[in-house]
Amino acid sequence: MTAIPEGSALDELRAAYHEQLTQLATERDAARRQARRAQAQADVARADLASLKSRVHELLNAAARHLPDLPAVEAPKAPARRALPAASAPASATSTTSTASAGSEEAGERPARAA
């Protein structure tokens, strides 16, 4: 029988395994950071959308008060599932309808009132 230096082969396997674990942990951490950033951006986008919907609704109602031919826009019912935290619930209670998005250009020309 010939003697094989098993220590060096085993050490190489351990080093390769450790290197692979380190690389996978780094990739996992980067993916988690990216997911947290994406979630934060989605939260901001949902809040912005809710705010815009609320503002469009306000502007359409203001325009309806000044233009007799424009029907008043009723506030749509709250969605079954809330996507925003309770802090922004008043803004999330409104949603954009096709009428609201069609009138937003007209309403956007008027000066904004203090909210």
pLDDT in tens, 10-30: 999 999 999 999 999 999 999
pLDDT confidence of residue 106: 43
Structure token pair of residue 61 = 């109602």
5 lies in a domain?
no
Q: Domain count of the chain?
A: 1
For residue range 23-51, list pLDDT tens digits in order.
999 999 999 999 999 999 999 999 999 99
**Helices (DSSP H) in the chain: which residue ranges?**
6-66, 89-92, 98-108
1 lies in a domain?
no
48 lies in a domain?
yes
Considering the entire predicted model, what is its pTM?
0.48
Lowest model confidence (mean pLDDT) among 9-13, 48-52, 57-61, 67-71: 67-71
49 lies in a domain?
yes
pLDDT confidence of residue 4: 54
